[in-house]
Amino acid sequence: MAIPQSIEHFLGDQHVSYSVLHHPPVYTAQEEAAATHVPGMQWAKTVACIADDRPILAVLPASSMIDLDRLRAAAGARVVRLASEREFEAFYPECETGAMPPLGPLYGQPVFVDRSLAGSNEIVFHAGSHTDAIRVSYDDFTRVVQPRVADFARTAGRGEAQ
């Protein structure tokens, strides 16, 4: 699958310089980081969540797990939960299921980035498919997305996934 036109248009309209990384099909952030030869701490995993019945995007390193309580506090929400597959299929119709990029303004959604990614020179994330990724400077990403930076990632324990 090619990068959805909506993503290409959004990045182009915002004058974001980016590169596309093609790779074999993979389905987890850790696998995609490995397939693109990107350290897990630079791979920006996008997690679709629902905060008080509103969709939000949480962005954290591939090697981390999301702490929903800390995200809830950062979002100022009463309740935060992971979006269901059916919900995120509806939110990101041009993207393969689970391969949405962290481009909240494109979808009318606020974005929360874990502080551990905020110091990166560049980040890499899903490009709407399980075979393509996008590499951008973190400065361009923040200029376009204007994410809220917070501490909500935790180190994944053995056998845990997210």
Q: Containing domain of residue 104, as a range?
A: 5-155
Note whether residue 113 is domain-resident.
yes
First and final C-alpha spacing in the chain: 24
The answer to whether 20 touches 36, Cβ cutoff 8 Å, is no
Q: Given this model, what pLDDT does residue 158 score?
A: 45
Q: What is the CATH number of the domain that holds 83?
A: 3.90.960.10
* Predicted confidence (pLDDT) per residue in 34-78, tens digit: 888 888 788 999 999 999 999 999 999 998 999 999 999 999 999
Note whether residue 161 is domain-resident.
no
Query: Residue 1: is its pLDDT beyond 80?
Result: no
Q: What mean pLDDT is predicted for residues 83-105?
A: 92
Note whether residue 162 is domain-resident.
no
Could you tell me the two tokens for 11?
């990045």
pTM value surpassing 0.95: no
Q: Given this model, what pLDDT does residue 28 score?
A: 83
Query: Residue 19: is its pLDDT beyond 50?
Result: yes
How far apart CA 87 and CA 30 sit, in angstroms, is 23
